């Protein structure tokens, strides 16, 4: 049986009345594990707590932390996915008041990404799928990922490692499973995510890194014109770190010094 726990015990099946299954009513975190230790774990827990507050999920954070650390120790090395749902419910959207959250942990091996993604950079696919605006859910890593599923189905060519996603007005938001950064005029820029998108753990780490290095950094509304004028472009997440972006359609960028500097710092952080 694949390593998986539900509510702290080994299990490989889920109740049919779980609201995560029925409505996507919950949150998740994807956590890199090395030598039995969950990396960037405090940031993952902070994001989970913030999401739990906004969705009014009854999260037992000390219990979740203990279970995650024990699960990671058993996994050793790989990727740990933590899912919390509102638990079981009856038919209908109204949640049961005070229902305890269900805790699901799943393990998978480290993904075998091509080394060229980090060294030479990647080509982005221009996704047609647009992200809908919903400020209430913006930033959360909630369980409804249908927009990303549809966007990822748009390409099968291995030449593309990621896809660029915009919102319905054309603003830049993120990549399908990564956050987006631009370097322009010596400033580090990333899209504002107050309307839609996921506030990634690695994104937060990089924003803090930049401030500590006295590097000008801003999260703001960005459009394709900003991408066209960018000097460097890269994407990031908490599993692979940083991938430079070398091309999007007819646009091309070098793997620049800011990207390399941050990439080296993240490589040390994630031991990759």
Q: Where are the alpha helices (DSSP H) in 115-272?
A: 116-119, 146-152, 201-212, 224-229, 257-270
CA angle, 232 then 152 then 257, to 5°: 15
Residue 197 sits at φ, ψ, to 5 deg, of 100, 170
Please state, in angstroms and rounded to a whole number, the distance separating the CA atoms of residues 53 and 127. Answer: 32
Whether residue 141 lies in the annotated active site: yes
Whether residue 174 lies in the annotated active site: yes
Contacts of 41 (CB under 8 A, 6+ apart): 31, 65, 68, 69
67, 162, 174, 199: which is the annotated catalytic residue? 174
- Spatial contact of 4 and 11, defined as CB atoms under 8 Å apart: yes
Contacts 24+ apart (CB under 8 A), 43-48: 43/201, 43/204, 43/205, 43/238, 44/82, 44/201, 44/238, 47/141, 47/199, 47/201, 47/204, 48/82, 48/84
29, 67, 85, 141: which is the annotated catalytic residue? 141
**Half-sphere exposure for 117 (CA within 13 Å, toward CB):** 18
Neighbouring CB atoms inside 10 A of 221's CB total: 13
CA angle, 166 then 169 then 172, to 5°: 30
30, 85, 190, 259: which is the annotated catalytic residue? 30
Neighbouring CB atoms inside 10 A of 132's CB total: 10
Whether residue 96 lies in the annotated active site: no
Report DSSP letters for 97-142, one per residue. TTPPPEEEEEEEPPP---THHHHT-EEEEEEEEEEPP-TTTTB--B
Place of tokens 């990031």: 236
> Which of the residues are catalytic?
30, 141, 174
């Amino acid at each position: 049986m694949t390593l998986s726990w539900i509510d702290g015990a080994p299990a490989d099946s889920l109740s049919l009345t779980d609201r995560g299954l029925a409505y996507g009513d919950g949150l998740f975190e994807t956590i890199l594990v090395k030598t039995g230790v969950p990396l960037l774990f405090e940031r993952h827990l902070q994001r989970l707590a913030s999401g739990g507050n906004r969705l009014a999920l009854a999260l037992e954070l000390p219990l979740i932390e203990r279970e995650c650390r024990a699960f990671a120790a058993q996994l050793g090395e790989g990727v740990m996915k933590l899912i919390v749902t509102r638990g079981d419910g009856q038919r209908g959207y109204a949640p049961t008041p005070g229902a305890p959250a269900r805790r699901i942990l799943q393990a998978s091996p480290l993904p075998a990404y091509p080394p060229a993604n980090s060294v030479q950079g990647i080509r982005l696919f221009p996704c047609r799928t647009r992200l809908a605006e919903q400020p209430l859910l913006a930033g959360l890593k909630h369980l409804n990922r249908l927009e990303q599923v549809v966007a990822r189905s748009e390409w099968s060519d291995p030449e593309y490692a990621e896809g660029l996603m915009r919102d319905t007005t054309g603003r830049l938001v993120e990549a399908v499973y990564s956050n987006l950064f631009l370097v322009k005029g010596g400033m580090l820029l990333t899209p504002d995510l107050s309307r839609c998108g996921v506030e990634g753990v690695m994104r937060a780490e990089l924003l803090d890194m930049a401030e500590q290095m006295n590097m000008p950094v801003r999260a703001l509304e960005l459009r394709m014109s900003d991408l066209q004028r960018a000097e460097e472009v890269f994407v990031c997440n908490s599993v692979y770190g940083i991938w430079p972006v070398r091309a999007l359609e007819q646009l091309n960028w070098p793997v620049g010094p800011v990207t390399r500097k941050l990439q080296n710092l993240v490589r040390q952080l994630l031991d990759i």
